[in-house]
Amino acid sequence: MIPLKDDNPTSSRPIVTYFLIGLCVVVFLMQLGSQSYRTGHLFLSYGLIPSVLMGHDQLPMDLYAVPAYMTIFSSMFMHGGWLHLIGNMWYMNIFADNIEDNLGPRNFIIFYILCGIGAAMAQVLMNTHSQVPMVGASGAIGGVLGAYLINHPNARVLVLIPYIIITIIKIRALYVLGFWFILQFISSGGGVAYAAHIGGFVSGMILILFFNKTAKRKIVR
């Protein structure tokens, strides 16, 4: 089930959403131009490595670029490849504008970063001794999806279902995002940080309840 667009208009231009998408694209293009990207050293230097963050391991000095806690933030804007980037930005473009519209630009960027932190910590706590670097905006975007599920469960989403015969239909966001969430539990392998996806989604569902109280615009569900 691949979402194509939602039928949920906004009352303002999603400036922060566009900025975050642009930032992720620029960072990825900078990655491509780096020699350390091709060797994989870039991910070791700026990706989130649970064992390093928790103090179980240390990076060699030639790979040390920022303090371990800063990789929680740097890793949010890096991606492992074109498909990783495009998939994340696709979901961001469809769902983030409505949450930004609900919260306003300032609160939305705070919300987004907090979801990214929640996602990172979920991944770290799942395996504190892991030496595999984690990169990607998936966790923070998972938080956006969780918030969308709470604020707009009845919004209609146009989805493509590639099963035997390709079908395009409109269904409620509740089912689209519920399916995405369940998929994180039943999927495994492939180097994907599913715990971060789940952690981000749950963080978004919880945080949006608090952020909604400060929202200036009425939320229509």
State the CATH number of the domain containing residue 42: 1.20.1540.10
d(CA 99, CA 112): 10
Domain count, the chain: 1
Whether residue 220 has pLDDT greater than 60:
no
Mapped onto helix, strand or coil, the DSSP state of residue 134 is strand
Residue 54 inside a domain? The answer is yes
Report the pLDDT value the prediction gives residue 165, as an integer from 0 to 100.
83
How confident is residue 21, by pLDDT bands cut at 50, 70 and 90?
Answer: very high
Residue 52 inside a domain? The answer is yes
Q: What is the pTM of this model?
A: 0.92
Cβ–Cβ under 8 Å, residues 150 and 213: no
Residue 219 inside a domain? The answer is no
H-helix segments, 152-193? 173-186
- Average pLDDT of the segment spanning 153-175: 92
d(CA 203, CA 192): 19
d(CA 130, CA 56): 9
Report the pLDDT value the prediction gives residue 39, as an integer from 0 to 100.
86
Residue 166 inside a domain? The answer is yes
Report the pLDDT value the prediction gives residue 62, as an integer from 0 to 100.
87
pLDDT digits (tens, 9 = 90+) for 47-81: 999 999 999 999 999 899 999 999 999 999 999 99
Mean pLDDT of the chain, nearest integer: 92
Whether residue 9 has pLDDT greater than 60:
yes
Report the pLDDT value the prediction gives residue 139, as an integer from 0 to 100.
95
Whether residue 10 has pLDDT greater than 80:
yes
pLDDT digits (tens, 9 = 90+) for 126-136: 989 999 999 99
- Average pLDDT of the segment spanning 88-110: 96
Residue 135 inside a domain? The answer is yes
Report the pLDDT value the prediction gives residue 190, as an integer from 0 to 100.
66
Full residue range of the structural domain in which residue 110 is found: 2-214
Residue 206 inside a domain? The answer is yes
Residue 56 inside a domain? The answer is yes
Report the pLDDT value the prediction gives residue 99, as an integer from 0 to 100.
97
How confident is residue 1, by pLDDT bands cut at 50, 70 and 90?
Answer: confident
Residue 221 inside a domain? The answer is no
Ranges assigned E (strand) in 87-164: 156-163
Report the pLDDT value the prediction gives residue 188, as an integer from 0 to 100.
66
Report the pLDDT value the prediction gives residue 221, as an integer from 0 to 100.
58
How confident is residue 38, by pLDDT bands cut at 50, 70 and 90?
Answer: confident
